[in-house]
Amino acid sequence: MQKKLANILFSTRLTSVLFIAFAAAMATGTFLDAGQDMSPTPYSRNLIYNTWWFEGIMVFFVINFLGNIVRFRLYKKEKWATFILHLAFIFILIGAFITRYASFEGMMAIREGDTENSFLSQKTYITTYVDGDFLVDGVAQRRVLETEVDFSGRLENDFNLNTEYNKQPINIKLEKFIVGAEEDIIPDENGESYLKIVEAGVNGPHNHFLKLGQVSSVHNVLFALNKPTDGAINITLENDNLTINSPFDGEYMTMATRAQGLLVKDSIQPLHLRSGYSIGNMQIVFPKPVVKGVFDVVKKAEFLKNDEDGLVLKVTANGETKSVGLLGGKGTNSSFKQIKVGGLDFAFKYGSKKIELPFSIKLNDFEAERYPGTERGYSAYSSEVTVLDEREEDFDYKIFMNNILDHDGYRFFQSGFDPDEKGTILSVNHDYWGSLITYIGYFMLYFGMMAILFSKHSRFGDLEKQLKKLKAKKAKTLAVVLLCFGLQGFAQEHSANDGHNHSNKPTKTQIDSVLRANITPKEHASEFGNLVIQDLSGRMMPVNTYASEMLRKLSKHDSYEEFDANQVFLSIQESPQLWYNVPIIYLKTKKADSIRHMIGVDLDEQYATLADFFTERGEYILAPYLDEAYKAQVPNGFQKEFKEADQRVNLLFNTVEGRSLKIFPIPNDDNHKWISNFEFKEDPTVIKDSLYNNFVKSGFLAYLYTLNAAKKSGDFSEASKLLKAFKDTQHRYGGSVMLSDQKVKTEVLYNKYDIFKKLFSWYMYAGTIMFVLLVFQIFKSHSKGLSTAIKVFKFIVIGLFVLHTAGLIVRWYLSGHAPWSDAYESMIYVAWATMLFGLLFGRKSDLTMASTAFVTAMILMIAHWNWMDPAIANLQPVLNSYWLMIHVAVIVASYGPFTLGMILGVVSLFLMIFTNKENKERMLLNIKELTVINEMALTVGLVMLTIGNFLGGMWANESWGRYWGWDPKETWALISIMIYAFVIHMRLVPGLRGRWFFNLCSIIAFASILMTYFGVNFYLAGLHSYASGDQIVSVKFILIACAIVAVLGAFAYRGHVKYYKK
């Protein structure tokens, strides 16, 4: 019996079952939360992640791994890599067990100047105090009950607690759970009269209840209802009419009509219900008249994300039963609600538990940094604290993202802050042993994963040997090349025409002649340049600005041949296919020779076309090299060139596709988003107004049609009318972000004159000539002509400085922030400051003025070098985490080998379909080779995905103190790991072996990658979701895809059985 049980527990069949069961359970958990704001929710935790059977799967994994270590003798020297790998997973699961059951975490809120020595737990509890007449040594005894709960509005929540107090039986049962609850007055003739006041507090609205005939304080402001009180806001109820008499001036606005009025102090005025009153620093609303009733917990009419939940508990003691309503939830620490039942006194509280620290933390200062031009766009925030510990010396520390405070086994992370920026919110974690053991497992995992790729005695080493044998039998190496491409990590030789034949590419002369024949005249193109566009960073600008920046980034010039930026940008919209073949993408001299070689461009060519960067099959030639370039912490010269070229290619590609032309505002959009016609086609529902919807759908195409006709007739009046219609709709729907006509005109003029670039040469000429004249003056001091000329140039320099100042003011006006916010702005500002002091000192020294003008010219010259971007832009957020960069890069890179595996699987199945008696030997060699490469590719992909996913866990743990949270993205990455682990381990399971089944599963398994990459972003909720709810693939498409794979597998199986199955 024991042997039979051991055979089951340590079998590879059980391993495979565990892989699939674990993946299926996790997938179910993510789908249970589809449509929710975040995941995981209490619903999925209760049904999946926190269940005994789910943790049982992990226990069986540990048992199975330990048994297989012994069974397959993985502890032997030649199998050390596989041994470390299996041992790593055991450590990770043990660490997770400790984290789950021994650690705790929560949130700590501290206001500036305050000291705190406790925090609120992440878990929620129902806390019960029971008091009675039971005495011990004359001291009344209290029974304290603390029960962890995790209620969900989508579950039939069960809470039934049986206990006793001095042998008196007590039952506490959950009667009702309310999502989004509040305490309110329920009409009851036997109750008392109250007036409800809703105050807009710092952390959200707060309810206050003013009892008839009493005075209450709301944040030190007295309110009285039918009890006249000096210094209070007196509200009087008489004949069902309410009046207000305030000792403070204020104002109000009726919500329904938006009508406004003044609240005059010390005067009796009608009290307007459902109106927002501003009295001093207080914002209040009186939502309804005085109500006679009793307090109860009810569901809120409008649920907000951070609202408390409600419980109704039924309490039975000594034959008596009563109900009590509680408010609370995660992150709340409400006061106790008291009730007397059966002669016993009960006190109940629902919410997070207060956990005491063995030390205190004082918040000295909280600092929040914003991105320029945004109100809530925070670039960074930090907390300057002092740790007060009686056991050791106090010390100061600054907590910010990725810079944690670690003290006495507790870790503190910057999590958030109060809306008024006067308080911080720190996440707290106490998980020393769990994190330590898990980290040991992670590092063993990374080492073992890498080792199996290089060890001669691993399965990967065996596959390499098999491949060599197969290559000895046949000379084909295509699959090996594909493998190298899929791995995206190895350099490869690239001849001038590898995979992309440029022999039929049109010449530059031919392209330019087509452009000259079809280009829009500058006058009308400049009208088009006056439209407003929204760039990717959210900055509003004229099309002229966007076109100028685009052309400058692409070609390092302000024009293409004799065509200005407006003409170029408009031409791209008219003839996108033509611009695939226009040589406009700048390549640096010498430094970009490697790119020239790869894309097949002559070494003396300074510009490449968009088509040059793609093969005839549409493959992006730079793709295999970009992962390494972008993930390099200190990129080398080649990697920098790859990145710069990639950015230019993407800029032109997006412009050619029409993605960049964001000239249509979405009406009433909270984020003031504007879209292009291309984006509108992807989701026409974003614009609800039918007339405007039709205008966006067809307006720009109609303009292009009219423009084409105008170029033939020479009459652009109709095209100009359409441009005016575009401008009118921008003003109508653009909201507060729409630029004024004056600002558009100013920015277009700023672009036209490019004042700082011109100042460089003007300062240079003036400073040099003035300097030469001063040198001549040294030898001819009595020359009146020289003195006059020098004075003229002094005035010229002063005039240039005035222009310089005006340019800075205009840039400040256009950007909305001081013109020293980035590298380019700092340079032109330094140049201005240099010239300012040159003028100040130049009053006594003309040479100083001349020399300063020359130096200013040099500074402006440097500001306009290629590595400086003169574009006006919102400052972009910077990802400060090295963990994040590597985590994403490794995971995304793993998709290459998995895609390769899927393609090889398809090819292998087709080979089986087309096998016959005459070619079966030749086909078998190809199938064997492709299958070996397939397994190698999947192994590499699995190594990269596993390392990348757990690196993400380490980044999360270093950022906010939790290395695993069942977020859908990380969960689906783990699901993919389980599925591909199953595919790779199938060879060890009798009944699952064979090339047909392996290749079929390599195709099916790719669905998990598609779900990880696309599905989570578009269908599920979580930290990584950016378009949750958007349907990009229909159910019909999925069914058709499944049917195609099933048919392919069935036909391939027939050939496999007929010719290869023994």
CA distance linking residue 572 with residue 652, whole number of Å: 9
Same domain for 281 and 219, yes or no, is yes
Check whether the bond before 205 is cis (ω within 30° of 0).
no
Residue 367 and residue 247 share a domain: no
Q: Kindly tell me if the per-residue pLDDT of 568 is higher than 80.
A: yes
Pair of tokens at residue 598: 């790869």
Neighbours of 507 (CB within 10 A): 10
In a domain, 442, yes or no: no
Nearest Cα to 480, choosing from 20, 1034, 904, 985? 904
Q: Are 661 and 676 in contact (CB under 8 A)?
A: yes
* Stretch among 18-32, 391-405, 832-846, 930-944 having the lowest mean pLDDT: 832-846
User: Which residues lie below 8 Å from residue 816, measured CB to CB, with a gap of 6+?
Assistant: 372, 373
Q: Output the pTM of the full model.
A: 0.61
Q: How far apart are CA 620 and CA 628, in angstroms?
A: 15
Write out the two tokens for 43.
């619903």
Query: What is the 3-class SS of 827-876, one letter each residue?
Result: HHHHHHHHHHHHHHHHCCCHHHHHHHHHHHHHHHHHHCCCCCCCCCCCCC
Measured between alpha carbons, how far apart are the two ends of the chain, in Å?
34
Local structure of residue 337 (DSSP, 8 states): E
Q: Is residue 240 part of a domain?
A: yes
Position 499 pLDDT exceeds 50: no
Q: Give the model's pLDDT for residue 515.
A: 84
pLDDT band at 886 (very low <50, low <70, confident <90, very high): low
Q: In what order do the strands lie in the sheet with 168-178?
A: 160-165, 168-178, 309-317, 320-328
Identify the residue with better confidence: 610 or 958: 610
Element (H, E) at 119: strand 115-136
| Statement to judge: residues 966 and 851 lie in one domain | no
**Which has more confidence, 19 or 877?**
19
Nearest to 332 by CA among 353, 313, 357, 346: 353
Mean per-residue pLDDT for 1031-1040? 71
Q: Which pair of tokens denotes residue 833? A: 């400051």
Residues forming beta bridges with residue 136, ordered by sequence position: 139
- DSSP code, position 613: G
Q: Lowest-confidence range among 185-189, 215-219, 776-780?
A: 776-780
The three-class DSSP label of residue 141 is strand
Distance CA 60, CA 65 (A): 8
DSSP 880: -
Selection from 355, 356, 359 nearest residue 390 by Cα: 359
CB 979 within 8 A of CB 1008: yes
Please, what sign has the CA dihedral across residues 293, 294, 298, 304? Answer: positive
- Distance in angstroms (rounded) separating the CA atoms of residues 504 and 499: 14
pLDDT tens digits for range 1006-1016: 999 888 866 77
User: Would you say the C-alpha torsion 17, 18, 21, 24 has a positive or negative sign?
Assistant: negative
**What mean pLDDT comes out for the span 638-660?**
82
Give the percent of the chain with pLDDT over 70. Answer: 87
Q: Are 161 and 178 a contacting pair, CB within 8 Å?
A: no
Pairing of strands 241-245, 233-238: antiparallel
Strand partners, 410: 407
Average pLDDT over residues 819-823: 64
Mean local confidence (pLDDT), 819-832: 71
The whole-number average pLDDT for the span 43-57 is 94
As given in the structure block, the two tokens for residue 1021 are: 């909720």
Judge whether 566 and 528 are in contact, CB under 8 Å. yes
Helices (H), 403-507: 432-454, 459-473, 478-487
Higher pLDDT, 370 or 301: 301
* Amino acid symbol at 830: V
Residue 452 lies in a domain: no
Reply yes or no on whether the pLDDT at 378 is more than 70.
Answer: no
The pLDDT of residue 304 is 61
Whether the CB-CB separation of 948 and 887 falls below 8 Å is answered with yes
Residue 191 and residue 50 share a domain: no
Are 680 and 696 in the same domain? yes
Stated length of the chain: 1062
Cross-strand pairs, 209:
196
At residue 842, the pLDDT reads 61
Residue 220's pLDDT is 85
Cα gap 55→60, rounded to integer Å: 9
pLDDT value for 868: 62
Mean predicted lDDT score pLDDT of the chain: 83
Burial class (CB in 10 A: 0-12, 13-18, 19+), 116: middle
Helical H runs in 869-987? 882-913, 920-960, 968-985
Q: Are 578 and 521 in contact (CB under 8 A)?
A: no
For 73, counting Cβ atoms within 10 Å of its Cβ (0-12 exposed, 13-18 middle, 19+ buried), the class is exposed
Domain hosting residue 22, numbered range? 2-104
Q: For residue 1026, what pLDDT is reported?
A: 38
Backbone angles phi, psi at 728, to 5 degrees: -65, -40
For the chain, the domain total comes to 6
Instruction: Specify the range with the lowest mean pLDDT, choosing from 365-369, 795-799, 846-850.
Output: 846-850
Both 892 and 981 in one domain: the answer is yes
pLDDT confidence of 1021, banded at 50, 70, 90? low
Give the CA count within 13 Å in the CB-facing half-sphere of 301.
2
Pair 511, 581: CB distance under 8 Å: yes
Say how far apart CA 575 and CA 582 lie, in whole Å: 11
If asked whether residues 407 and 554 sit together in one domain, one would say no
Helical pair 717-733 and 690-713, crossing angle rounded to 10 deg: 150
According to DSSP, the residues that pair with 407 across neighbouring strands are 410
* Torsion region of 351: left, alpha or beta (phi above 0 gives left; psi -120 to 50 gives alpha): left
Confidence at 225, pLDDT banded by 50, 70, 90: very high
Distance CA 108, CA 412 (A): 9
- Tell whether the model's pLDDT for residue 253 goes beyond 80: yes
284 φ, ψ (degrees, to nearest 5): -135, 160
Q: How far apart, in whole angstroms, are the C-alpha atoms of residue 178 and residue 301?
A: 12
Please give the residue that has the higher pLDDT: either 549 or 501: 549
In this prediction, residue 487 has a pLDDT band, given cuts at 50, 70 and 90, of: very low
Two structure tokens written together for 194:
């109250």
Tokens at residue 1008, please?
């998990």
What's the whole-number mean pLDDT along residues 783-787? 78
Query: Of 863, 895, 929, which residue sits at a domain end?
Result: 863
| Residue 450, domain member (yes or no) | no
pLDDT single digits (tens) 753-775: 888 888 988 998 998 898 888 76
Q: Report the pLDDT value the prediction gives residue 536, as an integer from 0 to 100.
A: 74
Report the SS3 class of residue 373.
coil
d(CA 428, CA 434): 15
344 occurs within a structural domain: no
DSSP bridge pairs for 611: none
Three-class DSSP category at 139 = strand
How confident is the model at residue 385, as a pLDDT? 96
**H-run or E-run covering 574:** helix 565-574
Enter the tokens of residue 452: 């199996």
| Confidence label for 881 from pLDDT (cuts 50, 70 and 90) | low
Residues 783, 930 within the same domain: no
d(CA 582, CA 580): 6
Structure tokens at 607: 């510009």
Distance CA 931, CA 900 (A): 11
Assigned domain for 924 exists = yes
Helix (H) or strand (E) segment spanning residue 528: helix 522-528
Confirm whether 362 is domain-assigned.
yes
Burial of 992 (0-12, 13-18, 19+ CB in 10 A): middle
Please report how the helices 508-518 and 565-574 are oriented relative to each other, as an axis angle in degrees rounded to 10. Answer: 90
In this structure, the answer to whether residues 75 and 159 fall within a common structural domain is: no
Same structural domain for residues 83 and 130?
A: no
* Cα 289 to Cα 233, 236, 293, 299, 635, distances in angstroms: 17, 12, 12, 19, 68
> Among 831, 863, 895, where does a domain finish?
863
In a domain, 780, yes or no: yes
What is the pLDDT at residue 867?
54
Nearest to residue 945, comparing CAs of 894, 1009, 899? 894
**For 957-968, how does the pLDDT look when each residue is reduced to its tens digit (9 = 90+)?**
777 677 788 888
Distance CA 244, CA 254 (A): 15
CATH number at residue 212: 2.60.200
Q: Does 929 lie in the same domain as 789?
A: no
Lowest mean pLDDT among 218-227, 692-701, 954-963, 985-994: 954-963
Q: Which residue has the tokens 């006059």?
A: 788
More confident residue, 843 or 1051: 1051
Q: Answer with the one of 48, 75, 104 that is the final residue of a domain.
A: 104
Q: What confidence score (pLDDT) does residue 1017 get?
A: 58
For residue 957, the model assigns a pLDDT of 79
- 523 and 612 share one domain: yes
pLDDT digits (tens, 9 = 90+) for 300-338: 876 665 678 999 999 999 999 999 999 999 989 888 999
**Both tokens of residue 711?**
């170029």
